[in-house]
Structure 1
Amino acid sequence: MKWLDEQPPSSVVFLYFGSRRTFKGDQVKEITYALEQSGHRFLWSLRQPPDPSKGLMASPTDYDDASEVLSERFLDRTHGMGKIIGWAPQLVIWGHPAIEGFISHYGWNSTLESIWFRVPIAAWPIFAKQLNVFKLVRELGLAVEIKMDYSRDGIGSDEIEIVSAKTIKKGIRSVMEEGSDIRKRVKEMSEKSRKALMNGGSLYTTTRGLIDDVMNNMFTKSY
């Protein structure tokens, strides 16, 4: 957070792929090339894949030294321009005025939270998130895609498609573009989402109706 406080407003792209999504070495290097070539400031939550010996439900962990998987001298060349961290307090980061764009696997929680904070997403769907991306990119125009048809043969599989630095860089630049139509639509949707939660808003009203219905019928005896 101290590093973010030192960055100009609306200047940083945040990379975060959820609590269980990780990339291996070759893909990590492509991301480093894309970040360096994009010219944008970045905050990257980079975690290492779980230990296969601990089973399919094992969780990713933070690197003791992330430089071992990054491209050579990446940290030196991007000093002052970016920061690599482990686990990230996502909501706090989104609300920071330095954040301007988000690179995500496009889980639904991340989608709703990014819209709430008016942060456009460059979507990189992993593990069956393609439906979320199709709706937000193609139907609603609230995000840009990095690669819609990204595939992975299965959890624990080594057969993983490598997305090129060129493709990732294009997504970063698109999501960081000032005055874009997507940025305007995200702002409009954010305002609608906030109104929905206010007293009398659509979500407030329907949730209150559901609670009232449950309470009114809780002690009704069926015969």
Structure 2
Amino acid sequence: MVELAKLLVHRHSTLVISLVIITSPSTATAAVTRYADSLAAAATPRVSLLRLRGEDDPSLPAGNAAVSMIESQRTRVREALLEFTPTARLAGFVLDMFCTSMLDVAEELGVPSYLFFPSGAAFLGFTFHIQTLHAAAAESTEAELVFPGLVRPLPGKVLPSGLLHEEWAAASYRMARDFRKSKGILVNTVKELESYAVDSLSRTENPKVYPVGPIGEKSRREDDETIEWLDQQPESSVVFLCFGSMGAFRGEQVREIASALEGSGHRFLWSLRRPGEGGPWASPTDYEDVREVLPEGFLDRTAEVGRVMGWVPQAAVLAHKSIGGFVSHCGWNSTLESVWFGVPMATWPMYAEQQFNAFLLVEELEIATEVRMDYRSESEEVVSAEELERGIRSLMEDCSRKGRMKGFSDLVRGALTDGGSSSSSIAEFIGDVSNNDL
């Protein structure tokens, strides 16, 4: 949302954006607080920050509690915006996908609401089609499901994890219903990357879709020891393993990964993190000493060809010329970064819609190879070293998908240039917002 705000004010000289951040005791982590503080310090007259704090309801399940906490802030958001924008015309709301309860506030203020959808167009189409899939999903995860956003039938085994849990499934159905109440949806994708899905959405009676991606920082040089090590490696020789802000494995799986890397013979950079304490959604942390979880002697045997790190600057790593492949959890931001830098992927999804994204990358777009498409972190299944090694070898040694990824990279980079598809879509959105009261 922050990067989207920056992009919009850059494109329109009189646009003013107020960013509303709602936290609760469970979400106001140190990292979130530091980031909000940094935004406040760097705020410009045209991008301002409103920080509101709600309260958790321990009597509600996690999904319902989050929605309830946001809903409880509707009156405060309305009052804050009225106070915060006395000299500017309020043109509309752009809502996070979990904040659709604010649709009512926009209606009270007499302005339209738009949605920012941080995943891709195919998954947005899936979300709209989700209620009709409900019966089939409940019957079997072996079924193949056909819906408008994909060329190929979707295997039931790669349905988003949330649909397999009643609480989250019900929340998904509510969101799908509420999305349709918005005037338009800004999607973090590129028309050329998901042309079939974007065209499919344009033929429906759902809200207008604006493909405005990729949203986020596109290139960044980090002068740290990770980049210094990469500088010493041959071009396209290193496989990079990184599993997102919530990706972490237990000891047995860590040892299988280590065995696979050593057996593959390829150079590697591995972002290895400790699972968080305090529940399945606790944030991972860095190990004080990774030797405690790795096979004995692994670091010594691979010292010349590999690095095991904690947190790494992912965008800067993917931008480096020595990276030849990316073993990823298939989060959509990570996917777009990989496409932007033209780095082939191997899919190892964890949760949320990542299984869906893996299917899109392997079967629909054919720009990734598969470690797994249907892995789910909650299952605690152990993927064998042999299976992992096959995936790594395919990623690094099979060139059939590299050219296709490079072609998509060129298209995605062109989308945000003057006259590009995303640039034009952003201009169209700003024009629509500006003319809403005319």
Give the TM-score, by structure 1 length: 0.91
1:17 aligns with 2:243: yes
Q: Report the 3-state secondary structure (helix = DSSP H, G, I; strand = E; otherwise coil) of the residue aligned with 2:291.
A: helix
Which one of 238, 262, 269 corresponds to residue 43 of structure 1?
Answer: 269
Aligned twin of 1:145: 370
1:83 aligns with 2:307: yes
Count of residue pairs brought into register by the alignment: 211
1:192 aligns with 2:411: yes
CA-to-aligned-CA distance 1:129-187 (integer Å, 9 cap, x gap):
111011110111010110122134x4xxxx51000001111111111126x12101000
Distance (Å, rounded) in 2 between the aligned partners of 1:35 and 1:149? 21
Distance (Å, rounded) in 1 between the aligned partners of 2:236 and 2:281? 37
Distance (Å, rounded) in 2 between the aligned partners of 1:58 and 1:166? 30
Percent sequence identity over matched residues?
A: 54
Aligned twin of 2:427: 208
Which one of 62, 69, 72 corresponds to residue 286 of structure 2?
Answer: 62
Distance (Å, rounded) in 2 between the aligned partners of 1:17 and 1:210? 33
1:183 aligns with 2:402: yes
Unmatched 5+ residue regions in structure 2? 1-226
- Report how far residue 57 of structure 1 moved: 4.2
Larger RCO of the pair (alpha carbons < 8 Å, separation 6+): 1
Equivalent AA in structure 2 for residue 41 of structure 1: R
Which one of 302, 313, 325 corresponds to residue 101 of structure 1?
Answer: 325
Which one of 153, 164, 179 corresponds to residue 384 of structure 2?
Answer: 164
Equivalent AA in structure 2 for residue 60 of structure 1: P
CA-to-aligned-CA distance 1:9-58 (integer Å, 9 cap, x gap):
11101100001110000000000000000000000000101112xx4543
Equivalent AA in structure 2 for residue 10 of structure 1: S
1:29 aligns with 2:248: no
Distance (Å, rounded) in 1 between the aligned partners of 2:317 and 2:384? 27
Aligned twin of 2:361: 136
Give the TM-score, by structure 2 length: 0.47
Moved beyond 4 Å, runs of 4+: none
Distance (Å, rounded) in 1 between the aligned partners of 2:230 and 2:273? 20
> What's the Cα RMSD here?
1.2
Distance (Å, rounded) in 2 between the aligned partners of 1:33 and 1:67? 14
Aligned twin of 2:337: 113
Unmatched 5+ residue regions in structure 1? none
- Report how far residue 189 of structure 1 moved: 0.4
Would you say the 8 A contact 2:271–2:310 is kept in 1?
yes
Distance (Å, rounded) in 1 between the aligned partners of 2:280 and 2:350? 16
Distance (Å, rounded) in 1 between the aligned partners of 2:349 and 2:284? 18
Distance (Å, rounded) in 2 between the aligned partners of 1:77 and 1:170? 21
Would you say the 8 A contact 2:246–2:281 is kept in 1?
no
Distance (Å, rounded) in 2 between the aligned partners of 1:94 and 1:32? 21
Q: Report the 3-state secondary structure (helix = DSSP H, G, I; strand = E; otherwise coil) of the residue aligned with 2:435.
A: helix
Q: Report the 3-state secondary structure (helix = DSSP H, G, I; strand = E; otherwise coil) of the residue aligned with 1:62.
A: coil
Distance (Å, rounded) in 1 between the aligned partners of 2:288 and 2:263? 26
